[in-house]
Amino acid sequence: VTLVCAVKTGDVGIMEAMLPHLLFRFVGGGHKKYSGEIIELLQMLNRELPPEVRTFVLENCWLVNFQGGEDTFLPLDQAQEHNIKGIKGLDGGPHGGWEYLYKYTPAFRTIQAVNGHIEGDLGILSRGKKHS
C-alpha cells in the first residue's frame, strides 16, 4: 500500500527508502532477477552515480505525470503501456506506418483527452485504465 501511494503521489523518496525492504521480499520469495535488479539499483544510486546525476535519475527517470494532477503519477513502464494502447486506438492502429505516427504523435495527448471527455459525457464503456 505504501509503495502504491508513493508512486501515485510522486514521492520518489519513499520509493527509494523501500528498496531494501523490497530486496528482502524478493530474496525471500526466490525472485532472483528482481533481487539482482534491486541490488544493481541500490549500488548505482548509493555508490556509482555522482550526486547531481543521482538526483536527476530520481526526479526525472522513475515517474511521469501526464495529467499534471497531484495523484496522477505513473511508473515509466506503465506510462509506456498507456502510450502503446493509445497508439493502437488511433485510426490506422499499429499498422499505420512511420509517416502516420509522425503525423499524429504531436496530437496524441489531445486526442486521448477528447476521447476520454466524450466517453465520460456519453457514458461509453471502455477498457480500464489500470495496469494488471
pLDDT tens for residues 79-88?
Answer: 888 777 766 6
Residue 112: CB partners within 8 Å, gap ≥ 6?
A: 86
Judge contact between 47 and 18, C-beta under 8 A.
no
The pLDDT of residue 67: 80
Averaged pLDDT score across all residues of the chain = 84
Residue 53: is its pLDDT beyond 80?
Answer: yes
DSSP 48: I
Judge contact between 72 and 64, C-beta under 8 A.
no
The pLDDT of residue 110: 80
The pLDDT of residue 85: 73
Model pTM above 0.75:
no
The pLDDT of residue 122: 74
Q: Which of 73, 76, 21, 12 is nearest to 45 (CA)?
A: 12
pLDDT tens for residues 2-48?
Answer: 999 999 999 999 999 999 999 999 999 999 999 999 999 999 999 99
Domain range annotation of the chain = 2-61, 74-122
Cell of 34: 528482481
